[in-house]
Amino acid sequence: MSKYNTHVLICGGTGCKSSNSGQIYENFKTILGEHNLTDEVQVIKTGCFGFCEKGPIVKIMPDNTFYTNVTPEDVRNIVEEHIVKGRKVSSLLYVNPENNEHVSDSRHMEFYKKQVRIALRNCGFVDPENIEESIARGGYEALGKCLTEMTPEQVIAEIKASGLRGRGGAGFPTGLKWELCAKNKADQKYVICNADEGDPGAFMDRSILEGDPNSIVEAMAICGYAIGATKGLVYIRAEYPLAIDRLKIAIEQAREYGLLGENIMGSGFDFDIELRYGAGAFVCGEETALIHSMEGQRGEPTLKPPFPAVSGYLGKPSNVNNVETFANVPVIIIKGAEWFSSIGTEKSKGTKVFALAGQINNVGLIEVPMGITLREIIYEIGGGIKGGREFKAVQTGGPSGGCLTKKHLDTPIDYDSLVAAGSMMGSGGMVVMDETSCMPAIAKFYLEFTCEESCGKCTPCRVGNKRMLEILDKITRGESTMDDLQALRNLAGVIKDSALCGLGQTSPNPILSTMDNFWDEYVEHVVDKKCRAGVCKKLMSYVIDREKCIGCGKCAKGCPAEAIAKTDYTAPGHKLPSMEIHGETCIKCGACINNCKFGAISVQ
């Protein structure tokens, strides 16, 4: 068989898959077959390319052409124009919004220019279901190097020297964690991969597992060697079926190739990995709760100490790391701690993957060096705010984090600067908000999430969060007083100090940080009973300008609550009496505004 001269890479991540990339793959196969090109063109389903805003994505190599928003119907055009005739299909290329020029090469797109892909190095490049592609890319070489050329102590020293910190949120130094676990003697130890990604809007762990599962398998084996464990467990939520499938395939193939199992690469080291499924409880991302859940008990946290490094899964020393943390490990072993620590800031080394979401033009998954500014992420990589509106805040760290505002735009982002700014790194969700977002409502949204996800074991979290939510509800309904704001602040402080685990200790963060940064907005809700963003429905009223209303009645016809009726007043120059809205029955859906062709209805 001749060598393939063209490779077609189709995004097979969950996002693009739901936009029918499976059919795109099938169509490529069929249409290439019609042109007798199956021997020359290789078609591959890869992991996520990150540019989810423009998905499904199809990349043609070797000319590195990046097609966006591809539909199954476009495939014929791509094959017949690009692959057969060598002419790029310009209608499917990315258009630079600044100068309306077509950009065919992803390296020239603003979205990719500032990215440094370490954890995502193979995502969108290899076929995640074929271990040979991973091996060709240098996969399992780090494991081989550890097993044959390094002692466990050297491996730990290398990870320590690299400055790698936990990517799940808190940022604990990974090498130190390994060392603590390695020191504890036991007949059995466990390596646990925390793939219980639960922050709303974060999907980096899923994307890594879907796009490059072999790196995680390899890194877990390396960790096992370093700490003296022969068993690995991946705790993954059952809502990630594609990631589970691909991980299973990778584990199966690694066993076939002798890269998992007994006597790996002739070193005498045994290691194998099993999966444990989570039911999708947020609290199970907390390591003690995660371990309990894996043991078949309720997913509730316990007090630390004892730390899992001493007594973890089944009471044995266990080391829990997040997916993204593991993804960095093989590269550090191959390229060295010095290389890794040259990237990033003084105390936060390497890169971080962020999931950009919200009111931003380029929604997607990005990997950037630590120390990049928020401005670079939002305006360069993210392409600015949707609809040209004004940036207001960005929530980092999900329900445990806080918001950063305009004054933080030029702060270099790392673990410590985010904490100093009243937020946290978290797993890397970044929800961008503009002037149409109401901050008390945002705080309420996150608190609703934590209330729902609280396991109920400790009182501050179970009852305290509920009380905070009630106060926030009063605020957004315009029924609160200034005393409520003080009570909210006090309660937040108490919960922070007294909750059992990370979930409760951080749940007041969104409230405290929005209060600190947007105090005047809270006061407006309380004193003026106004929501400037127009989000809190109880504080809004729809009004018809009776001088502008011609009395056509279209608004009344489209009103689902039958809240609009005729008045006795006919404006000068109009033939029919004007309409009016009854505030008590109005459900503030906004249908009337859309129906009115005369601009007579407004929100006040």
Partner 1 sequence: MTKVKSLAELKAMKERLHSVLDVREKAENPESLVQIKVGMATCGIAAGAKQVMAHMMQKADELGIQAVFTQTGCMGHCHAEPTVEVSVPGRESVIFGHVDNNRADEILAKYIQNNEKVEGVIATNKTNQ
Helix (H), strand (E), coil (C) string for 399-455? HHCEEEEHHHCCCECCHHHHHHCCCCCCCCEEEEEECCCCHHHHHHHHHHHHHHHCC
* Rounded Cα distance, 572 and 119, in Å: 69
CA distances to 395, 429, 516 from 512, in Å: 13, 19, 6
When the beta carbons of 97 and 266 are compared against partner 1, the nearer one is: 266
Q: How far is CA 298 from the centre of its chain?
A: 26
When the beta carbons of 143 and 539 are compared against partner 1, the nearer one is: 143
When the beta carbons of 144 and 200 are compared against partner 1, the nearer one is: 144
When the beta carbons of 7 and 316 are compared against partner 1, the nearer one is: 7
When the beta carbons of 256 and 338 are compared against partner 1, the nearer one is: 256
The distance of closest approach from Cβ of residue 81 to partner 1 in the complex, given in angstroms and rounded to an integer, is 9
Cβ proximity of 415 and 450 under 8 Å: no
The distance of closest approach from Cβ of residue 87 to partner 1 in the complex, given in angstroms and rounded to an integer, is 5
The 3-state DSSP class for residue 498 equals: helix
The total of other beta-carbon atoms located within 10 Å of residue 70's CB is: 25
* Rounded Cα distance, 167 and 172, in Å: 8
The distance of closest approach from Cβ of residue 155 to partner 1 in the complex, given in angstroms and rounded to an integer, is 15
Sequential DSSP letters for 368-382? EETT-BHHIIIIIIS
Residue 214 token pair: 């072999």
The distance of closest approach from Cβ of residue 85 to partner 1 in the complex, given in angstroms and rounded to an integer, is 5
At residue 321, what are phi and psi to the nearest 5 degrees? -130, 155
The total of other beta-carbon atoms located within 10 Å of residue 396's CB is: 27
What's the residue count for the chain?
604
The distance of closest approach from Cβ of residue 257 to partner 1 in the complex, given in angstroms and rounded to an integer, is 5
The distance of closest approach from Cβ of residue 31 to partner 1 in the complex, given in angstroms and rounded to an integer, is 17
- Return the H-helix or E-strand segment holding 591: helix 591-595
When the beta carbons of 80 and 473 are compared against partner 1, the nearer one is: 80
The distance of closest approach from Cβ of residue 316 to partner 1 in the complex, given in angstroms and rounded to an integer, is 29
Alpha helical stretches, state H, 19-117:
21-34, 74-77, 85, 110-113
* Rounded Cα distance, 385 and 391, in Å: 6
DSSP state, 3? P
The distance of closest approach from Cβ of residue 159 to partner 1 in the complex, given in angstroms and rounded to an integer, is 19
The rounded radius of gyration (Å) of the Cα atoms in the chain is 27
The distance of closest approach from Cβ of residue 84 to partner 1 in the complex, given in angstroms and rounded to an integer, is 7
Q: Which of 290, 288, 271, 292 is nearest to 280 (CA)?
A: 290
When the beta carbons of 138 and 493 are compared against partner 1, the nearer one is: 138
* Rounded Cα distance, 503 and 515, in Å: 20
The distance of closest approach from Cβ of residue 314 to partner 1 in the complex, given in angstroms and rounded to an integer, is 30
The distance of closest approach from Cβ of residue 519 to partner 1 in the complex, given in angstroms and rounded to an integer, is 49
Give the residues lining the site for partner 1 (CB under 8 A): 2-7, 9, 40, 61-64, 83-87, 107, 125-126, 132-133, 135-138, 140-141, 144-145, 147-149, 256-259, 265-266
